[in-house]
């Protein structure tokens, strides 16, 4: 996804900065990572508070295969499909991602 498409996707949250990382891109708002662009797919930051909403909306959690083939679950989930056609829905999901990033930062 190119940077202008990413910026448009997150405009309901406010300005974002985009940095290359892990062969993809990190997407930041107010200095906190809220999403990653991994192989052309945006994955939003999620935590234990917001995961049930993402799961109920049909989003998928990102994982990679760890040692001995065991999946390693990451705190990023796909964007629910309905959000791509509705700016208000997209605003809701990117706001949930930012809220998860704030909570993760407050634990540090």
CA angle 90, 95, 96 (to 5 degrees): 100
Residue 108's pLDDT band (cuts 50, 70, 90): low
Q: Which of 80, 87, 41, 35 is nearest to 57 (CA)?
A: 80
Residue 28 pairs with which residues in a beta bridge? Answer: 17, 33
Q: Which tens digits make up the pLDDT trace of 3-57?
A: 999 999 999 999 999 999 878 999 999 999 999 999 889 999 999 999 999 999 9
The reported pTM is 0.93
Q: Are 58 and 81 in contact (CB under 8 A)?
A: yes
Burial class (CB in 10 A: 0-12, 13-18, 19+), 94: buried
Taking only the tens place, the pLDDT of each residue in 94-104 is 999 999 999 99
């Amino acid at each position: 996804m190119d940077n202008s498409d990413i910026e448009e996707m997150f405009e309901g949250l406010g300005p974002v900065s985009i940095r290359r990382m892990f062969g993809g891109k990190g997407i930041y708002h107010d200095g906190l990572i809220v999403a990653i662009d991994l192989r052309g797919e945006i994955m939003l930051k999620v935590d234990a508070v917001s995961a049930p909403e993402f799961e109920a909306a049909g989003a998928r959690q990102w994982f990679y295969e760890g040692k001995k083939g065991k999946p390693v679950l990451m705190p990023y989930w796909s964007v629910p499909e309905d959000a791509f056609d509705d700016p208000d829905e997209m605003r809701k999901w990117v706001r949930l991602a930012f809220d998860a990033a704030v909570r993760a930062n407050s634990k540090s």
